[in-house]
Amino acid sequence: MAELEVDIVDTDGKVWSGPARRVVAPAGDGEMGILAGHVPVLSVLRPGEVRVLPTDSQEVLRFTVAGGFFSVDSDQVTIVADEARPAAVATH
């Protein structure tokens, strides 16, 4: 199964890193869902919630972000937030 490599960082450093099946981020034009094979993207990150579904879990990881940007290229997702904090864990 194809997967994404995800890095979430903020001004304090790395918040989370690992393989994932899906990422949903609050892009400048609305929420963007990202799966393996997604076309390259560079977008503004609006304040809101980033959701990550790790490959080794059925639990969605949630991070509250306070703006920034994110990029997707060759199944690598990099989220650079002004501030990012774990929000909650929920099953999908």
Domain holding 21: CATH number?
2.60.15.10
Which has more pLDDT, 45 or 92? Answer: 45
pLDDT band at 90 (very low <50, low <70, confident <90, very high): low
Domains contained in the chain, number: 1
Which has more pLDDT, 88 or 80? Answer: 80
Rounded CA-CA distance 92/84 in Å is: 21
Query: Are 68 and 80 a contacting pair, CB within 8 Å?
Result: yes
pLDDT digits (tens, 9 = 90+) for 3-50: 999 999 999 999 999 999 999 999 999 999 999 999 999 999 999 999
Residue 18 domain boundaries: 4-91
Q: Is the dihedral of CA 69, 79, 51, 19 positive or negative?
A: positive
pTM: predicted TM-score of the whole model, two decimal places: 0.91
